[in-house]
Structure 1
Amino acid sequence: MKPVPAPAPALDINQLPGYAIRRLHQISVGIFLQEVGDLGVTPVQYAALQRVGNQPGIDQRTLARGIALDTSTTAGVVDRLETRGWMERRTAPEDRRARQLFLTPDGQRALAATVPAMLRSQEQILAPLTPAQRKEFMRLLGMLVEENNTLSRAPGHRDAS
């Protein structure tokens, strides 16, 4: 007969950073979707549209690193955006095996229409904080992301876009 393990300690999950980050992510997505409304863009689709809009001709692997997704998930996002007529893959002139990504005119319009709603959602997320607290929160959040990036299943790559 196996011994009965000791009971797990009683912990307040509200005091755990991982739990708070997950809750904030849920809230962030909810606010984003509420603001974006009928445009029907998800946060991940917005990130892909914005990155490709910033870097026309980017390849799918670089896009995946830039938005911190694995390549197969990124392929699905690009597929959905391509189906909507917002993004297109083109053969790279220097490497016929590589595909470059570009926004279509409809994709450029969708991105332009999404940006104001996205900015409102970001403002709403930070609304409970004072301007100084917002700056400090973003500094600390950036530090946590940067220092823990390699621990992610899909490490991101930060750049100017």
Structure 2
Amino acid sequence: MNLKHLPGHLARRFHQISSTLFDLEMSRAGIVLTPVQFAALVEMKESPGIDQATLAGTIAYDRTTIGGVVDRLVDKGMVERFTDQADRRCKRLKLTPVGLETLSRAEPLVSRSQQELVSSLTAHEQEQLVALMQKIVEALGDKSRTSRHL
């Protein structure tokens, strides 16, 4: 069995490389942020007042673990957690000015790291790669622990 021909192994390596490139860009800029925290900030910007459970589903992250991610963002002053007026059990989230500023600094860095990730491919190959990855996630997303497609 050749690991270079196993999609799962290649996907794991691709993820490792992607995470390393992300970490390098954040480190150079002095931003302390993980890829999951970045995804959470992006979604909170897109959906102000989103609740934690919905956030977990939207970014395909485990509902149990998302609390720790949000806790760290709150501790960094990037996110504010507040109680829903209609359902006191529901915790809603919004970006603080620090979170918005961090996100605006991080977005071009993430774009650069993502471009570097696929830089060995032609523009057409990049589109194909993303389309094929989306197709697999759409088809099999319910098989993951998060039961979320995209």
TM bracket (short chain): over 0.9
Q: Does 1:101 align with 2:93?
A: yes
Q: Which runs of 4+ in 1 moved over 4 A?
A: none
SS in 2 for 1:96: coil
Residue 64 (structure 2) aligns with? 72
Residue 139 (structure 2) aligns with? 147
TM-score (norm 1): 0.89
Q: Does 1:21 align with 2:11?
A: yes
SS in 2 for 1:35: helix
| Residue type at the aligned position of 2:8 | G
Residue 33 (structure 2) aligns with? 41
Tell me, in whole angstroms, the C-alpha distance in 2 between the residues paired with 1:44 and 1:50.
10
**Aligned alpha-carbon RMSD (Å):** 0.9
| Runs of at least 5 residues in structure 1 that lack an aligned partner in the other structure | 1-10
SS in 2 for 1:39: coil
Structure 1 residue 157, shift from structure 2 partner: 4.8
| Residue type at the aligned position of 1:63 | L
> What do the CA deviations read for 1:78-101 (whole angstroms, capped 9, x no partner)?
000001110011111221221110
Larger gyration radius, structure 1 or structure 2: 1
> What do the CA deviations read for 1:109-159 (whole angstroms, capped 9, x no partner)?
11111101000011101111101111111111100111010110112254x
Tell me, in whole angstroms, the C-alpha distance in 2 between the residues paired with 1:20 and 1:157.
20
Match of 1:89 among 72, 76, 81: 81
TM-score (norm 2): 0.95
Tell me, in whole angstroms, the C-alpha distance in 2 between the residues paired with 1:150 and 1:65.
11
Tell me, in whole angstroms, the C-alpha distance in 2 between the residues paired with 1:48 and 1:157.
16
The aligned length equals 148
| Residue type at the aligned position of 2:95 | L
| Residue type at the aligned position of 1:69 | Y
In the alignment, is the contact (CA less than 8 A) between 1:67 and 1:157 conserved in 2? no
Report % sequence identity: 41
Match of 1:32 among 17, 22, 32: 22
Tell me, in whole angstroms, the C-alpha distance in 1 between the residues paired with 2:89 and 2:125.
48
